[in-house]
Amino acid sequence: MNNASVLDFWRGVLQKRGKREGVAQMGWEQRGNNRYFYRKEREGSRVKSVYVGRGEVAQMVSKFQSSSAELEKLMQAKKAIEANKLERVESALDRAIELAQLFTEAELLTAGFHTHRRQWRRKRDDR
């Protein structure tokens, strides 16, 4: 892909975006007759606009930023799937362990033991 075709590609992308009339594009601001691209940065409770530029370079930066946000979203979705899988494993493990503990307690209780301050004891006359 040469430089001209790269620019054509970006023009195409931007033209498609331009069809959405009345929808403001994130980061682009109209000042006079020109549109300028600003990067938004948060400083505590304030959001600061940092000037990036205008023209085709700014368009490319703008596109890159929007695609990295999409990438971020995809990464987050992947992490959510992994976390869900992990949670399922952990809950299966917890369930199995709790069941084994309950079964043990039941066996000990029927064998004549009981707990006293978290210590298993047996009635004196049962020995």
Torsion, Cα 14 18 19 22, to 10 degrees, reads: 150
Minimum CB distance to another protein smaller for 67 or for 115? 115
> What is d(CA 72, CA 107) in angstroms, rounded to the nearest whole number?
52
Smallest separation (angstroms) from another protein to the CB of 80 = 15
Minimum CB distance to another protein smaller for 15 or for 119? 119
Q: Considering only residues 52-91, where is the footprint of another protein by CB under 8 A?
A: 85-86, 88-89
Smallest separation (angstroms) from another protein to the CB of 79 = 11
Minimum CB distance to another protein smaller for 57 or for 106? 106
Interior/surface letters 27-46, b for 16+ CB within 10 angstroms, e for the rest: beeeeeeeebbbeeeeeeee
Asked if residue 102 binds another protein (CB under 8 A), the reply is yes
> What is d(CA 88, CA 86) in angstroms, rounded to the nearest whole number?
5
- The count of chain residues that interact with another protein, using the rule CB under 8 A, is 32
Minimum CB distance to another protein smaller for 12 or for 112? 112
Q: Which of 42, 110, 117, 125 binds another protein (CB under 8 A)?
A: 110
Sequence-distant (≥ 6) Cβ neighbours of residue 74 within 8 angstroms: none
Of 122, 93, 96, the residue nearest 110 (C-alpha): 122
The footprint of another protein (CB under 8 A) covers 85-86, 88-89, 92-93, 95-116, 120, 122-123, 127
